[in-house]
A and B are shown apart, each in its own frame.
Chain A
Amino acid sequence: MTLRNRWRQSLSFFMLTLTGICAVVAVSLLFLILGDLFYNGWRSVDWDFFTKLPLPPGETGGGMANAIVGSIEIVLLATIMGLPVGFMAGVYLSEFGGKTFAFLVRYMADLLNGVPSIVIGIFVWIVVVRRYHFSAYAGGIALALILIPITARSTEQFMNAVPQTLREGALALGASKWKTIATVVVPAAYRGIATGMILGVARISGETAPLLFTSLNNQFWGAGLRDQTASLPVMIYSHAMSPYDDWHRQAWAAGLVLLIGVLFANVAARLILSRGIAVQK
């Protein structure tokens, strides 16, 4: 081997090893994050965390029961408002869409998907909060606005993946178009659609920025859905930025709980999707 070739081979080996290092670094980041959260948060997660309210600053103890419940409330509101709309829009795009209108809707959905969530928060603040004050409803609306375009595009994608010949088979038996969609196409695509929905809900559960000006925060239980409501992400933010050590500890615990929830949903969704074609029972 000539000297030049030896150099080339060494360079090749070096560069390729470097890429391997990049990949290892990327993967370790996830484990470092998880590890750090576990280390700092595990000791702080106790029964109190799930059951008690936050105590005034300076006092140790207490929990984030209101934030957990508040997050569930807000995300539930967003899910009820956003999933059906997104799903139906996705069905329209895939099964009924005319050329120009569907193109416009698709384009706008992608646009909304790319808008920073804080801008959505501003929008809901202008339209809802200025008139009706901070509330869980406002927070739910903001999250729903994020959920709708995600759900629409992912539903459309999985419905499009159903082969046309399946639709023709149903139509040839005398089924009307909507019956074909409801009884053949959607069941054929349901795994992907469900996955998209789970991932979307997981995503909005972790959103903080849109809640900052809509549901705000609440150190107490609040007076119902019309009142400002605590949520895990906002609590984490406010507690982490505070100067109190105990609040920092709570922030870690909350971060751990939130992350486990989100990652669990993600893993579950991916497992559902990878199971292959469904047989309708």
Chain B
Amino acid sequence: MSSTVPGSVPPSRAAGSVTGHVPTQAGPGTGRRVTLVPPATDRFDRVARAEWSKLWSVRSTGWSLLALVVVTTGIAALACWGTMTGIEQSPEEVPPFDTVNLTLAGLSLGQLAAAVLGAMVISTEYSTGAIRSTLTATPQRLRLLSAKALVFIVVALVVGLVTCILSFVVGQAFLSERYRVDFGDPGVSRALLGGALYVAGSGMFGFAFGALLRQTAGAITAAVAFLLVLPPLSQLLPGSWGDTVTEHFTSNAGQAITFSQSVPNGAVGLSPWAGYAWFTAEWLLILAVAAVLMVRRDA
């Protein structure tokens, strides 16, 4: 077999004589320089803007946020309707409740939509391989991670607040006058804002697990376990230290901020802000581990 591959390429093959149909000739980038000025400094806001555009350019974002609003509001309506029905039938069997917290009952499921989105914001980077494109553009990994987190938190807070106000309004429509509260009543606005904060925090559990595990399914499973499955199970722990663990455990602690009044004999024992601080510290801890690993691991 003779090889017809020539040993070298004649200089005439070099770029000056590329054939006309090749797009490199047609495009405006053909000239040696297109006078782009490299930035003198790297800026966080550029990375944040890029992450903002990335968040809204995949369909899962819209669907997750829609699920958050619809599920949470729908459960608010169901919970309030069910509670009123119970009161009408046998008032003595209905334990005292916090109205705002009742209208935010849907957050127990709605938080999962936030956690799923939080996980996917980072895990899909790894599952698709896009992380290599992303890190090539932004090699400072902690800057990337914090920009992603910031963008997600802002979106989760805004959509979370809309969700909570909507749930509050819709839920209260099913309650009789006697149980209704107003935005101006003590603790009500704080509890609604707290609901939004809780949504963002739940989402950050998903985000932290996504950054840690680098895959969507595992991150969502971990977030569901920590936010939904384990918190009620923690009540099985014996003794006073068991109670301590329970009241500090993820969503048990975090949901304290969704009550407008101090809790009537509930399992949640921490004050609103103390509970939320614990909740935040817990996802921050997971995220810190993820951040250390992200810096150390190969992408």
Q: Do A and B come from one complex?
A: no
Chain B residues within 8 Å of A, Cβ to Cβ? none
